[in-house]
């Protein structure tokens, strides 16, 4: 079995400080008005002007002016949040519960700074994490980490699982093996995975995987000739990740919450496996057999519909 991780990006805009502050201000102002809270000021006009100015200053690399605008945006957002908190007891119980969730997220956005950890990157999607990609064109991706597992010879996906936060790749392997074992346990003649091929991001977890054997490039000197031949198949998962992301929609997840992330990863893998199965049918020369079976099924349905049709009256 070959295992690797990738990033399933969330359907969010690029999280700039100015944009997050303005979205939080607008969202809380609308929710407060729907709850019937009489706000002293919503800063609607000033908020839009500040966001436009921040974009211009950032484009012109005038960072001193940009910091001044961001400071003002945090000031007006803090004023609005304190005003809502003072008048929150006047709202109904349901409105108070809804507003409390959004108030907590808005305070996180208002107080977070550039070098803080566990920041909020989208007001509507708190599960989004910033994952470093390490490439010059796109250094960071915003979403969740997804682990994929494929068979060593045929390249069929036997595991797809999303992970909360940004865990170390090696710490995702036990969860991935658990999912794969559950999916394969009811198949006749199929045993649980005994050997895992991975990259160097999975080092240091051999003790947690016993009796499963982990093979990666760091063990090259201690591997047998057979294991070295297996290791040459490790990179076979890379094009499969590309096809799953580009052809089957894992490039961007539009589903809500952590449950949506998990379902989206599994469904994208199912789509890839269906296409893999259709290619296998054509490759093995079984397409004519399926055409004949489909033709017989259509004839059966047509005859059954004729027998069940009610008699027509003149």
Q: Which residue ranges make up each domain of the chain?
A: 2-8+128-277, 15-111
Mean pLDDT score, 166-183: 92
Residue 75 pLDDT greater than 90, yes or no: yes
Mean pLDDT score, 299-311: 67
Phi-psi label, residue 71: left if phi above 0, alpha if psi -120 to 50, beta otherwise: alpha
CA angle, corner 145, sides to 257 and 274, nearest 5?
85
Residue 297 pLDDT greater than 90, yes or no: no
- Look up the pTM and report it: 0.84
**Burial of 269 from C-beta contacts in 10 A (0-12 / 13-18 / 19+):** buried
Residue 305 pLDDT greater than 50, yes or no: yes
pLDDT score for 253:
95
As a whole-number percent, the residues of the chain with pLDDT over 90 amount to 72
Are 199 and 4 in contact by the 8 Å Cβ rule? The answer is yes
pLDDT score for 309:
52
Residue 314 pLDDT greater than 50, yes or no: no
Mean pLDDT score, 264-269: 96
pLDDT score for 209:
84
Are 190 and 184 in contact by the 8 Å Cβ rule? The answer is yes
Alpha-carbon distances, residue 235 vs 89, 117, 291 (angstroms): 59, 33, 36
Rounded Cα distance, 137 and 149, in Å: 27
Mean pLDDT score, 3-10: 95
Mean pLDDT score, 195-209: 89
Are 55 and 18 in contact by the 8 Å Cβ rule? The answer is yes
Q: Where are the alpha helices (DSSP H) in the chain?
A: 17-34, 44-59, 63-87, 93-111, 173-184, 206-209, 225-231, 237-247, 257-283, 287-308
Residue 300 pLDDT greater than 90, yes or no: no
pLDDT score for 150:
95
The DSSP bridge pattern shows strands 2-10 and 140-150 to be antiparallel
Q: Which residue has the tokens 């057999």?
A: 289
pLDDT score for 310:
56
Rounded Cα distance, 218 and 34, in Å: 59
Mean pLDDT score, 19-25: 97
Residue 111 pLDDT greater than 60, yes or no: yes
Mean pLDDT of the chain: 91
């Amino acid at each position: 079995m070959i295992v690797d991780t990738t990033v399933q990006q969330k359907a969010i805009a690029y999280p700039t400080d100015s944009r997050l502050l303005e979205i939080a201000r607008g969202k809380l102002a609308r929710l407060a008005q729907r709850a019937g809270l009489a706000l002293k000021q919503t800063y609607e006009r000033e908020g839009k002007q500040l966001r436009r100015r921040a974009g211009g200053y950032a484009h012109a690399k005038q960072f001193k002016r940009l910091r001044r605008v961001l400071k003002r945006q945090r000031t007006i957002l803090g004023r609005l949040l304190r005003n809502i908190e003072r008048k929150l007891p006047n709202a109904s119980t349901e409105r108070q519960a809804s507003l409390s969730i959004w108030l907590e997220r808005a305070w996180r956005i208002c107080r977070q700074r550039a070098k803080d950890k566990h920041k909020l990157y989208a007001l509507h999607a708190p599960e989004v994490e910033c994952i470093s990609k390490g490439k010059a064109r796109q250094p960071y991706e915003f979403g969740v980490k997804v682990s994929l597992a494929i068979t060593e010879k045929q390249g069929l996906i036997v595991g797809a699982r999303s992970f909360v936060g940004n865990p170390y790749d090696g710490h995702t392997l036990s969860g991935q093996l658990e999912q794969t074992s559950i999916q394969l346990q009811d198949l006749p003649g199929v045993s649980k995975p005994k050997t895992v091929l991975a990259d160097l991001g999975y080092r240091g977890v051999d003790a947690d995987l016993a009796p499963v054997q982990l093979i990666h490039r760091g063990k090259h000197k201690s591997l047998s000739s057979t294991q070295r031949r297996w290791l040459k198949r490790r990179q076979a998962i890379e094009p499969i990740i590309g096809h799953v992301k580009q052809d089957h929609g894992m490039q961007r997840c539009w589903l809500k919450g952590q449950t949506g992330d998990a379902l989206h990863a599994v469904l994208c893998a199912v789509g890839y496996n269906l296409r893999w199965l259709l290619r296998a049918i054509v490759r093995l020369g079984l397409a004519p057999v399926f055409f004949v079976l489909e033709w017989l099924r259509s004839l059966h349905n047509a005859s059954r519909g004729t027998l069940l049709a009610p008699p027509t009256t003149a």
